[in-house]
């Protein structure tokens, strides 16, 4: 059963499409209700990324994400969001096998979460899947360049656009994603000079991550952006806060106060007087 939809004037996929060449589109990932609530007033698009497998569940790659995982986090983000366009990643294994599988997975995600769109990785190789999902009336965000779901096939996280053959493939992928009806496309981990040409080559918005400032918008993993990443921080990330330090400091001070019996103090316990205070 789908959760209740948020009310209000929510940004839709077509609103994002119309932003091509305009004010840059602000995107961040979100995986939980409180983060979605905090980010929603400031962004145009929230992506429930399959990066949740790494960020929240401790997997080594995004391949640890499942359809059930994406739906659960998608529901949480939809409950916390009222304005942003919410896009949910289709995890590896949920769309590549066949067009029928892709359509069934997309329907399930939309039906269970009420999100505005789905995202999948691939260009020319996934053109049939994108076209079929769009034909069902489900908006699709594409994803080209470095594709985290292909990390095993590619032999690691390799930057794209460093050879003539790969540059030509990137442009073919961008054209395929546009032609099949996607409303936007993420360009990840691509040489800046190449990524800066792609937005001028296609008529749908390009969302950069480790790509180019010339893209029509930008996205980061929220935990990277706020300084919560506990492992390696990618080169393309700018940390706008250092919450790792804040949390570690708070935990240390809490531990000291518990061990010294300074916490809980009088303000944090309940009196015998009925109705004097509430939990």
Q: Which residues are catalytic?
A: 188
Structure tokens at 5: 């939809």
Residues 279 and 272: their CA atoms lie apart, in Å, by 13
Structure tokens at 14: 């077509």
Q: Chain-centre distance of CA 155, in angstroms? A: 23
- End-to-end Cα spacing for the chain: 33
DSSP 116: S
Residues 96 and 150: their CA atoms lie apart, in Å, by 11
Q: How far is CA 254 from CA 173, 227, 228, in A?
A: 52, 21, 19
Q: What is the CA angle 228-229-231, rounded to 5?
A: 150
Residues 65 and 120: their CA atoms lie apart, in Å, by 13
Structure tokens at 141: 């965000």
Pick the closest to residue 131 from 179, 95, 89 (CA basis). 179
Residues 121 and 140: their CA atoms lie apart, in Å, by 10
Pick the closest to residue 226 from 243, 210, 249, 214 (CA basis). 243
The helix (run of H) or strand (run of E) holding residue 112 is helix 99-113
Structure tokens at 175: 């054209």
* Helix orientation angle between 127-135 and 99-113, rounded to the nearest 10 degrees: 50
């Amino acid at each position: 059963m789908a959760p209740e939809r948020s009310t209000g004037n929510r940004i839709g996929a077509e609103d994002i499409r119309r932003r091509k060449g305009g004010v840059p589109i602000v995107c961040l990932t979100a995986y939980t209700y409180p983060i979605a609530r905090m980010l929603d007033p400031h962004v145009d698009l929230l992506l429930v990324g399959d990066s949740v497998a790494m960020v929240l569940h401790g997997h080594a790659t995004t391949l640890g994400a499942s359809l059930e995982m994406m739906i659960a986090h998608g529901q949480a983000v939809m409950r916390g969001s009222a304005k942003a366009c919410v896009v949910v990643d289709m995890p590896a294994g949920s769309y590549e096998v066949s067009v029928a599988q892709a359509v069934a997975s997309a329907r399930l995600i939309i039906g269970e979460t009420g999100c505005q769109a789905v995202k999948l990785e691939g260009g020319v190789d996934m053109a049939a899947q994108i076209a079929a999902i769009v034909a069902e009336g489900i908006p699709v965000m594409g994803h080209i360049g470095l594709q985290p779901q292909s990390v095993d096939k590619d032999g690691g996280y390799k930057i794209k656009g460093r050879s003539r053959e790969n540059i030509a493939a990137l442009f073919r992928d961008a054209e395929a994603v546009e032609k099949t009806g996607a409303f936007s496309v993420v360009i990840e981990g691509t040489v800046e000079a190449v990524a800066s040409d792609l937005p001028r080559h296609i008529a749908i918005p390009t969302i950069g991550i480790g790509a180019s400032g010339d893209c029509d918008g930008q996205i980061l993993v929220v935990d990277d952006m706020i300084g919560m990443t506990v492992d390696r921080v990618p080169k393309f990330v700018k940390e706008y806060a250092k919450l790792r330090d804040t949390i570690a400091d708070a935990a240390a001070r809490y531990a000291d106060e518990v061990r010294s019996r300074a916490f809980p103090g009088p303000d944090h316990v309940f009196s015998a007087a009925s109705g004097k205070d509430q939990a």
